[in-house]
Amino acid sequence: MNIDQKIDLIKEVGEEILTEEELRNLLETKKNPIAYDGFEPSGQIHIAQGILRAININKMVKAGFKFKMYVADWFALANNKLGGNLENIQTAGEYFIEVWKTTGMDLSGVEFVWANDVIKDPDYWKIVMNIATKNSVTRITRCSQIMGRGENDLKAAQIFYPCMQCADIFYLGADVTQLGLDQRKVNVLAREIGPKIGYYKPIVISHHMMAGLKEVKTDAIGAERAIAKKMSKSNPDSAIFMTDGAEDIKRKISKAFCLEGIAEENPIMEYNKYMIFERFDKVKIERPTQYGGDVEFNNYKEMEDAFLKKELHPGDLKTATAVYIDKLIEPTRKHFENNSRAKDLLAQVKSFNITK
């Protein structure tokens, strides 16, 4: 795979790249650059964290990257996830890893790193303090959205969060931060602060944030439109979780937001674009003869064109989508049904109180 082919593959992951020129230079000068993403362990993994994350990581690994998956247990503690119970958070972290092992993720190119191990190194805290002393409280609190918090809803512990997240990049030696677009502010902060504290300017490859399944009205677009917002663990019907049963999947998909003839901000279309067509060569829609009969799509563009022309009804699309999503998570579900350790981890995680 040449440099252009690698960049094209990475563009399938990155909805935004800061910057493509820097990425090209990195690939030309370093054989196996390092990319990282971090997750707060808190509750069950939904399909974007499971299947989509595996798809994106596999593309990065195929492009030559070594990937570090950061299990951010202490970040979840700072953010008061699972009531701030570190033992429960770490159990959730073990569950996260157990899920990723079942998703088709190319683990030969992935290393799991725990924040609990990193924070024991005084050198890590030197980086954190260096970042903290060179930024105002106002500048740091502007990054509060990375925690799903507003600036007026912060606890003192959460002020550390952006400083620690920036420090992670440099401590891990990550050439690339490969997180969601919701983490953009802290990644830009890292690019600004890196050269000032004797490090480098990390490249930012931000992946698309999958919409939740539930409809949300918005004045910004007007009464004629509505959008689906980000998946949320605190609202179980807003996402498909990695061990959901076939009936749960069918129920959630059937009730999902899916405006006829509109593909933008449509979670059902996103499921097909970012996950189903990534794992299946074609998608078959089964429907009665009086409604056009069965139809097959060889790629997402064919499906989108038919949907935009209203040749594909949301009801038929939802029925097929539920079938393919069920196939995607079936290996994970079976693993957690049949593996005693996995089953125990899932039972413990389900018993925890999930906070936003």
Task: Assess whether 167 and 265 both reside in one domain.
Answer: no
CB-based contacts of 198, cutoff 8 Å, min separation 6: none
- CATH number (domain holding residue 283): 1.10.240.10
- CATH number (domain holding residue 109): 3.40.50.620
313 in a structural domain? yes
Q: Which domain holds residue 121?
A: 3-207
54 in a structural domain? yes
C-alpha–C-alpha distance, residues 316 and 217, integer Å: 24
Q: What is the pLDDT of residues 67-104, one digit of tens each?
A: 999 999 999 998 889 989 999 999 999 999 999 999 99
- At which of 207, 228, 258 does a domain end? 207
Task: Assess whether 197 and 243 both reside in one domain.
Answer: no
Q: What is the pLDDT of residues 269-316, one digit of tens each?
A: 999 999 999 999 999 999 888 888 999 999 999 999 999 999 999 999
The count of other CB atoms within 10 Å of the CB of residue 88 is: 21
DSSP helix/strand/coil, 68:
strand
Task: Assess whether 116 and 174 both reside in one domain.
Answer: yes
Task: Assess whether 224 and 190 both reside in one domain.
Answer: no
356 in a structural domain? no
Output the pTM of the full model: 0.88
Triad 247, 355, 206: Cα angle to 5°: 80
Task: Assess whether 219 and 165 both reside in one domain.
Answer: no
C-alpha–C-alpha distance, residues 317 and 326, integer Å: 14
Task: Assess whether 234 and 306 both reside in one domain.
Answer: yes
Given a cut of 60, whether residue 231 has pLDDT beyond it is: no
Given a cut of 80, whether residue 52 has pLDDT beyond it is: yes
Q: What is the mean pLDDT of the chain?
A: 89
85 in a structural domain? yes
